[in-house]
Structure 1
Amino acid sequence: MGWSIVLLRYFNPAGAHSSGEIGEDSQGTPKNLVPLVAQVAIGRRERLHVHGNDYDTPDGTYFLSIYTAQTYNMNGGTGGASVLEVIAAFQEASGVRVPYDVLERRPGDVAKMVASSKLARDELGWKADKSLLRMCEDVWRWQKKNPTGYARTGSQNSTRS
């Protein structure tokens, strides 16, 4: 019998449970956008650095949508959002201004990369069902409950990255 292997490629996953009890507690500097935005909004970081504002950036996939997609072993892209669109959505969701500086593009950054969920939609009728604004609202709810992260608040519901 041969092997059956499935690879999943997450495109900048982000999000938190709507209860605010489960979320991402990045150790050190987060490697994805939304935790950085949340940390600036809550005051853990002074400013966000946007590396270029003249091209689209990789899309964000709401993390609860990923768990649904994993059940089907397929990737679930949401169509894409620029860094500035994510910042604007987070500001709307939180009611907090997120200060940022626009810097030069970084060498090697890809102009645009967006996951396609066409196969999952066509074969299974699945689609990501959370909006960017909803994802930001859920992340902000978690961040307010855990302003310095789980390890410093004693909570046990950690999704560390």
Structure 2
Amino acid sequence: MAPALMDAAAPDLLSDLATTTSLCAAGGGFGFGPKVSGCLGTFAAGGADAICKNPARPCANNTGLDLPLCNGTSGFFLSNQPGYWLGTKASEACGAAASNQIFFGCGAAGRAGVAKCGGFDKVIDVGTSITSTTGQLKDASNTDPTQGVLCCLP
């Protein structure tokens, strides 16, 4: 079952404990946990942080994330967890690199990851719609509106 779009209206104090409000700057998005939203949207290089509503930031790990729910949702949501592969895609490593770049995250459009950096079990290859000059999210761009960013509250 795909998650419902979240209501961007401010929650009352009692329901705040039970429901997730959108952490997306544009509102909407998908609730993947009390402090995690999947926020669709394109962005230019350096614009990934702007997809998240302040004080939320791109997630660095899967803490509080309903990973099966996210992985069952169409598209892909990038985390602030870069990686790369050496020789073959079955040989992944965590961290930024100049080539063979990947981003860890979740969503049905990703492929199975090997290194599971940040606890994420899916990756997306940097290339056509996602680019990055350094392999880091801060330098990444996305031109596919069916992809976006995982946003987390601190």
With normalisation by structure 1, the TM-score equals 0.22
The higher radius of gyration belongs to 1
Write 1 or 2 for the structure with the bigger share of strand. Answer: 2
Write 1 or 2 for the structure with the bigger share of helix. Answer: 1
Q: RCO greater where, 1 or 2, for CA within 8 Å and sep 6 or more?
A: 1
With normalisation by structure 2, the TM-score equals 0.22
